[in-house]
Amino acid sequence: MKNDTADLKDETYLQVRNVTKKFGTFTALKDISLDVIEGEFVCFLGPSGCGKTTLLRAIAGLDIQTLGSVYQGGKEISNLPASERDFGIVFQSYALFPNLSVNENVGYGLVNIRTSKSDIKDRVTELLSLVGLEDQGDKFPAQLSGGQQQRVALARALAMSPGLLLLDEPLSALDAKVRVHLRHEMKELQRRLGVTTIMVTHDQEEALTMADRIVVMNDGVIEQVGTPEEIYGHPASPFVAEFVGTMNFLKATKGDNENINLGAHTLSLDDEEKAKLNGADVLACVRPEDIVVRGVDANTENSFDATVLDLEFLGSFCRATLTYGDGDVNLNADFSINLVRDKGIEVGGTVRIALPANSIHIFSAG
């Protein structure tokens, strides 16, 4: 029978199948499988050391996987060296050639394939204007700011019009303001060119704002693949729930009628979550910003009184530390400044809160 990995769906550009990477006895990637669709922007997100770079380097052919296969554009590239694959790459260090001008850096690969000097010059000019550095071509990398260097590296990676753009933490060497600015620029550029892009990052905000789909990794395995909304709104595991955004993890027990009991309170669930109730002990997870106060009264579903232990001012909102029941369980809630003022929420006071059924995620405990 024909191997099922060979028949590609039309839109799938890159297929990773059962990739395992070992460094000696240490297994950095464990049986990873993943599809990347043509033209999409995918982020590998995960804590440092989880194997993001290793996976990216396997896809690039820089450190070829121990087991498994990789297909790009319908062609198997599993064992090809980097020089026989089709990709452009930007590293965290940018790896710009320090002794070559910006023009020479960007045109570095073109010299090999283009015949005429004017062709190269035109292409370099085009690339530099693409990244907004039209007038910087004669400078050397050291004469540019970090953000400009990053864009030169991007222009160089795009010079050969690669089918796949690989970015390894391309923004993490920059300061916060530049980073936020460049996020939008890069995303915009990627959309305009339509180049299939994989970016490695450990910064969830970066992944949430830039990616079409996020691949959350932990300890050499993929925890979840999904759009930013899916990842944030429907985390598939406690790890994802905790790593992306903030999350309250509350110990609960399975009640009657597919409810759960949170201490003395009974909470109802969405149908989707009810299906996950297997076993007596569960974890009920709710994000601090999903906790509702406005319009909550004694009759509101899933509502109960909580005591305010602490209020931390965080600029645009306040993070409240709440407790309920016998007082040994804490719960974080984010309240707008407005709300705090209107409801007179203060430390030591009591407030009635609701955990809406559609904001509760259930994971099995343990």
Partner 1 sequence: MTDQTMSSASPAIVKPKLSRDDWVMRAFILVIGLWLVVTLVMPLYVMLSKSVQNKDGFFIGLSNYIEYFSTPALFYSINNSFFIAFLSTAISISLASVFAFILSRSTIPGKSVFKNIALLPLLAPSLLPGISFVYLFGRQGVLKGLIGDYSIYGPIGIVMGEVFYTFPHALMILIAAFSIADARLYEAASTLRTNRIRTFFTVTLPGIKYGLISAIFVVFTLVITDFGIPKVIGGQYNVLATDIYKQVIGQQNFEMGAVVSVVLLIPAILAFAVDRFVQRKQVAMLTARAVPYEPKPHAIFNRFFFLYCCIISVMIIGTIGMAGYASFVTFWPYNLELSLNNYDFDVMDGGGWGSFYNSLEMAAYTAVIGTSVIFTGAYMVEKAKGFGIVRGIIQFLCMIPMAVPGMVLGLAYIFFFNHPDNPLGFIYGTMPILVIVTIAHFYTVSHLTSMTALKQMDPEFETVSASLKVPFFRTFLKVTVPVCLPAILDISIYLFVNAMTTVSAVIFLYSSDTALASIAALNMDDAGDVAPAAAMCMVIVATSASVRVVHALLSKGISAKTQKWRTR
**3-class DSSP state for residue 102?**
helix
The smaller minimum CB distance to partner 1, of residues 109 and 147, is found at 109
The residues, any chain, with a CB within 8 Å of residue 165's CB and separated by 6 or more, are 87, 88, 89, 90, 157, 158, 190, 195, 196, 197, 198
In angstroms, what is the minimal distance from the CB of 28 to ligand ADP?
Answer: 4
The residues, any chain, with a CB within 8 Å of residue 36's CB and separated by 6 or more, are 12, 13, 14, 15, 42, 196, 198
The smaller minimum CB distance to partner 1, of residues 93 and 129, is found at 93
Q: CA 197 to CA 193: how far, in whole Å?
A: 10
How many residues touch partner 1 (CB under 8 A)? 43
In angstroms, what is the minimal distance from the CB of 169 to Mg ion?
Answer: 6
In angstroms, what is the minimal distance from the CB of 270 to ligand ADP?
Answer: 33
Which residues here bind ligand ADP, judged by CB under 6 A? 23, 26, 28, 46, 48-54
Strands 164-168 and 196-201: parallel
In angstroms, what is the minimal distance from the CB of 351 to Mg ion?
Answer: 43
Give the CA distances from residue 343 to residues 305, 319, 328, 335, 350, in Å, rounded to whole numbers and listed in that order.
14, 15, 25, 10, 10
The smaller minimum CB distance to ligand ADP, of residues 49 and 81, is found at 49
Residue pair 198/164 in contact (Cβ under 8 Å)? The answer is yes
88 binds, among Mg ion, ligand ADP, partner 1, none (CB under 5 to 8 A by kind): partner 1
CA Rg value for the chain: 25
Angle at 150 between CA 149 and CA 156, to 5 degrees: 90
The smaller minimum CB distance to partner 1, of residues 165 and 208, is found at 165
| DSSP letter assigned to residue 326 | T
The smaller minimum CB distance to Mg ion, of residues 53 and 148, is found at 53
The smaller minimum CB distance to partner 1, of residues 93 and 338, is found at 93
Residue pair 349/320 in contact (Cβ under 8 Å)? The answer is no
Q: CA 73 to CA 62: how far, in whole Å?
A: 19
The smaller minimum CB distance to partner 1, of residues 31 and 270, is found at 31
**Ranges within 4-23 binding partner 1 (CB under 8 A):** 18
| DSSP letter assigned to residue 192 | H
**Contact call for residue 67 and partner 1 (CB under 8 A):** yes
The residues, any chain, with a CB within 8 Å of residue 145's CB and separated by 6 or more, are 178
Q: CA 192 to CA 223: how far, in whole Å?
A: 30
In angstroms, what is the minimal distance from the CB of 243 to partner 1?
Answer: 28
**3-class DSSP state for residue 328?**
coil
Q: Crossing angle, helix 117-130 and helix 146-158, to 10 degrees?
A: 130
**Contact call for residue 143 and partner 1 (CB under 8 A):** yes
Neighbour count for residue 47 (Cβ, 10 Å): 12
What x/- string results for residues 147 through 186 when contact with partner 1 is judged by CB under 8 A? ---------xx-xx-x------------------------
Q: Is the dihedral of CA 145, 151, 156, 159 positive or negative?
A: negative
Which residues here bind Mg ion, judged by CB under 5 A? 53
161 binds, among Mg ion, ligand ADP, partner 1, none (CB under 5 to 8 A by kind): none
What x/- string results for residues 99 through 138 when contact with partner 1 is judged by CB under 8 A? xx-------xx-xxx-------------------------
When binding is defined by CB under 8 A, the residue of 47, 49, 74, 81 that contacts partner 1 is 81
Which residue has tokens 């060296």?
A: 81
The smaller minimum CB distance to ligand ADP, of residues 51 and 68, is found at 51
Region binding partner 1 by CB under 8 A among candidate stretches 63-71, 173-181, 336-344, 351-359: 63-71
In angstroms, what is the minimal distance from the CB of 131 to partner 1?
Answer: 17
The smaller minimum CB distance to partner 1, of residues 13 and 324, is found at 13
Which residue has tokens 């999904």?
A: 226
**Contact call for residue 140 and partner 1 (CB under 8 A):** yes
User: Residue numbers of the site for partner 1 (CB under 8 A)?
Assistant: 1, 18, 60-62, 64-69, 78-85, 87-89, 91, 93, 95, 97-100, 108-109, 111-113, 140-143, 156-157, 159-160, 162
